[in-house]
Chains A and B, each alone.
Chain A
Amino acid sequence: MVKRFLKSAAPLAMMLCAAMTAPSGGTAARTYNEAYVHYSTLIPAFARKYNLPCSACHTAWPELNAFGQAFKDRGYQLGNDRDSPIWQAPAYWPISMRTTPQIHAENTTHQPIDPAPSEKTITQTGVDLSGVDFLLLGTLYKNITFGLVPTLDADGTTGLEAAFVRFDNLGSSPWANIKVGKFELDNLLSEKRFTWLSNNGGFLYAYHYQPAGSVDNYVFGLGDNQIGAEFAGHSINSYTRYSVAVLTPDDGEPGLPSGNSVDAMVSLSQAFQMGGGLGPPRIGVFGYLGHRPTTFDSVGGAPIPGTGSAFKSFTRVGATAQVWFGNLELIPLVSHASDDAALGGSTQKPEWNTTLLEAHYVATPRLLVQGRYELLRMSKQADPATPKTFGDVDALALGVRAYPFMFSRAGMAIHAEFAMTGTTGMAPLSGDGSGVDAYDPATKIWSRSLFLGFDFAF
């Protein structure tokens, strides 16, 4: 009995110990893979609290539907005057866990290997694990919400994906809510709640791409959780929504490693009473203005965290929509991005454009068929000598999610996915292969993922 308890408690103990000994701050470079290990926010704890099936809040979990979006906008409250914890059984504990045991194959062409200039196609196949998300979200009191998402990677690394407190309905108005801490940006196409799990399908270039030559301390992902304060509001049915966030220029890294500057994010969206589809059609726009330091004070040649200066700016602007034709959902997104020349590491501002179309056919709440095509084109390279097409991306993903059961206590999806990404010259951001750019900058590198996973949450 004791042995069993120790065995089951070991991962949690490891996580706590690691958290206690983890260094704070620092500007250590991160790989893209690290940023994308933790995907989503599906929270059966809410289903247990409110006795609602997953399908009430999710088109197909973890993607939110209009009702789930309104629930989130209200601060994870249904608004029935029973949201405060005092109305729950004292034993209720607002925690859910999610992970995905999986079988997957990764195949990436034109990967440089030793001795130079050799290259080969690298293939990896086998049974693998995703990280584990511990999702603690709920109300501390009526109109006071909290979120806490400690994470445990499959290799034992711990993290804090989200930690925030939110004050809802200030002045009894749904138009005024404030959130402080680390949280997901109010992206209309949420990467934390999307339905893709493979290395190549599991992130959006529109949110994470950075062009070749970007300086080391410039790390940013629109899909990464950020630290700061968000002021947001919505109409009573959440058809009209806005958010304005002021953020630290650290891409969600705690400890203020960059220095004294701010980023800002704005999003606006409007849904309409139209059509008979599964949800209201919605259109929206977003914009992000960020700053990153280009110099640091140093000691012994090493930069001192938090002393960044000579901040240079970058922008991401875009528009998106959500359209329903019966059970078919289409989500187009277009965006434009540009970086200061100093962040691009050369003489001119790099600029690029992204277009994607994601389609979901929600056959039933228990069966989702989906596809996505994303296209990224560099319009201007930082270094004029770089070929114009270097870094261009074409990404395709196809998938099926089947939910063997759907009720209000837990969730499981059998997830099959095929995704392929073609990048010109540049190593794919999936993390597959050697992670090194091709010898020939005009070479099209293809990275392919084949994935079968058992995605469960309790």
Chain B
Amino acid sequence: MRPHTGWVSFRSACGVVLLLARATPAPAQEAHVGNRTGHAKAGKPLYQRYCVGCHGQDGDGNGENAAWIDPKPRDFTTPVFKCRSTPTGTLPTDADLFNAVTRGFVTTNMPPWRPLTEQNRVDLVAFIKTFSKRWQTAKPGAPLTVPPEPVLTIQGILHGRELYQRMECWKCHGPAGHGDGPSAHDLTDNKDNPIRPYDFRSGTRFMCGETNQDLYRIFMTGLDGSPMPSFADQLKPADGWDLVHFLRTLQPLQTREAAIWREWVATHGSELKPIGPEGGGR
């Protein structure tokens, strides 16, 4: 009797495939933002339409335009994200990704995609999560709670200036916040691409938002994948807010912080020590 080797082999192969399929967790096909549920299947054609030119067919940031873009598009396969509400080293929440798609990244090629419907954006988030298996094995970190903003005072701004000196923010961002500190030219991101520190003159918004809460969150979560670390272990909440208030004075905007600062500097400016290697901050 002739053994049914072909049939047996076929059945075995099917079994192996089925076992492998069962051993592999189901891919992250959904995203949840508010009361909306995004589906990767719906997000795929949207990604092809809007995102593939920069982020690439495989989500690795190597789209056909990537060579011409600076800073480089995000690599979704890693998956490391700058703008999060979650602690450094953890995955962002779906809402973080949704907000990033909605807001875009000022001073980069990533525009705000706000004109897309919310459902479209949630679907895109669901699809972006299919590029890395980490979404199947790990959960997003717990979102950071931003404490209430204290009353704005000149003492707080001055303390923030001291922190800017003491924590050596100036080494990258420069003494005046122009992104021209002594380390600025040697910085690279997690893919060894040159990266420049934020120039507080350059944009009306920050990379991850435009409110004081957004800026506070950046200190505490850090911008993963960039040289900007998390200061969650070094900064007390009050210190964080003082730093926020000082950094607001570096922007070319008519902020309350800038008004208080200008008034104080007009009469006490000579008391200030310069920021930098020789400075003391105050």
Contacts and interface: CB of A to CB of B under 8 A. Distances in A.
Interface stretch (B15-23, B77-85, B107-115): B107-115
A8 interface: no
A66 B116 contact: yes
A381 B145 CA distance: 71
Give chain B's interface secondary structure class. Answer: loop
Interface string A43-68: 00000001111011000000000110
B189 interface: no
A81 B107 CA distance: 5
A50 B119 contact: no
B54 interface: yes
Interface string A273-316: 11111111000000000000000000000000000000000000
Contacts of A239: 115
A279 B117 CA distance: 6
A67 B107 contact: no
B4 interface: no
A94 interface: no
B53 A365 contact: no
A69 B115 CA distance: 8
B45 A51 contact: no
Contact of B117 (A56, A280, A408): A280
B65 A81 contact: no
A50 B111 contact: yes
A93 interface: no
Contacts of A55: 48-50
B238 interface: no
A70 B111 CA distance: 11
Interface residues of A, number: 31
A416 to B, nearest CB: 23
Interface residues on B, range: 20 to 34
B118 A273 contact: yes
Interface in A234-276: 236-239, 273-276
Contacts of B49: 53, 55-56, 365
A279 B205 CA distance: 27
A275 B110 contact: no
A241 to B, nearest CB: 11
A407 interface: yes
Contact of B120 (A51, A79, A238, A276): A276
Interface in B33-55: 42, 45, 48-50, 52-54
B114 A70 contact: yes
B43 to A, nearest CB: 10
A51 B50 contact: no
Given A51-B65, A276-B123, A80 B106 contact: yes
B54 A51 contact: yes
A274 B118 CA distance: 8
B119 A275 contact: yes
B108 A80 contact: yes
Contacts of A275: 117, 119
A82 interface: yes
Contacts of B50: 55-56, 67
Interface in B81-115: 104-115
B53 A56 contact: yes
B42 A67 contact: no
A236 B117 CA distance: 13
A81 B68 contact: no
Contacts of B42: 276
Contacts of B52: 53
Contacts of A56: 49-50, 53
Contacts of B263: none
**Nearest 6 pairs between A and B by C-beta?**
A51-B65, A70-B115, A66-B115, A78-B111, A81-B203, A237-B114
24 contacts: A50-B109, A51-B53, A51-B109, A52-B54, A55-B49, A66-B117, A67-B115, A67-B116, A70-B115, A78-B104, A78-B112, A80-B104, A80-B108, A80-B112, A81-B107, A81-B203, A81-B205, A82-B107, A238-B115, A275-B117, A276-B117, A364-B45, A408-B64, A408-B65
Interface of A: 50-53, 55-56, 66-67, 69-70, 78-82, 236-239, 273-280, 364-365, 407-408
